[in-house]
Structures are given as structure tokens and as C-alpha cells.
Amino acid sequence: MYANKNTVGDSVVDALGMGVGFTLTLFVMASIREFFGSGAWFGLEIPFMQNVKVSIMTLAPGGFFVFGCLIAIVNKIMMKKGKPARELGCKGCPCAEACGKASCTAEGKEAEA
């Protein structure tokens, strides 16, 4: 959507920023899971974590748990900065024009009833 409405240069910068951001997020998530799950980081054993391994962190639910915690941390930081939460519905949706507001019309009819 961003590339459709902006110049090539802006789209390249956006794509690079999104790629770097996604890579950093995956790195942070993997580091947290490896630290708590196996007591190591990049293959280096962490002495005080050898007896306190949390085995669920090596499984899929551990990934969802870390992801949820990271989202909570980001939301907490944004609230401290005074950034408002996004509103639900077409008013806060960046893709409202692309979908033709079809889902919003259904929401509006439900709200009127």
C-alpha cells in the first residue's frame, strides 16, 4: 500500500526500514528465548542460568509469550510518550479507501440497530 501511493525513493527507504525493524525484532525475540530456554547466548553458556532453564521458552508457546510481552512493553512505552492508541474501525484504518469501506458499512448498520 505504501509503495502504491509514494515515490520509488520513499518506498525503498520504507522497505529497508521495515526489513531492518523486522530483523531486529526477530533477533531480540530469539535472544530472549535462547537466554531463558537454554541458558546460553550465541553458544556461550551463561553461568547463573545453567540451573534455571525455562523449557517452555524453547517451544512454540514460548515464542508467543515473548511476542506478547514485547507488545506490552512497546504499548507501555508509547503510553508514556503520550501517543494515543489507534481507534478501531474505518476512521483509524490506513486501508479504509482500498477496501471500499465495506466492513465499515456493516459495522455502522449494526451500531444503528
pTM score of the predicted model: 0.63
| The pLDDT value given to residue 3 | 83
Q: Where are the domains of the chain?
A: 2-82, 87-113
Cell numbers linked to 88:
478501531
pLDDT bucket at 113, cuts 50 / 70 / 90: very low
Cell numbers linked to 65:
509469550
Confidence check: pLDDT of 62 > 80: yes
**DSSP SS3 for 41:** strand
Q: Are 41 and 35 in contact (CB under 8 A)?
A: yes
Closest CA to 28 of 60, 59, 61, 63: 63
- Range 26-39 average pLDDT: 90
pLDDT bucket at 106, cuts 50 / 70 / 90: low
Question: How far apart are the two ends of the chain, measured CA to CA in Å?
Answer: 33
pLDDT bucket at 105, cuts 50 / 70 / 90: low
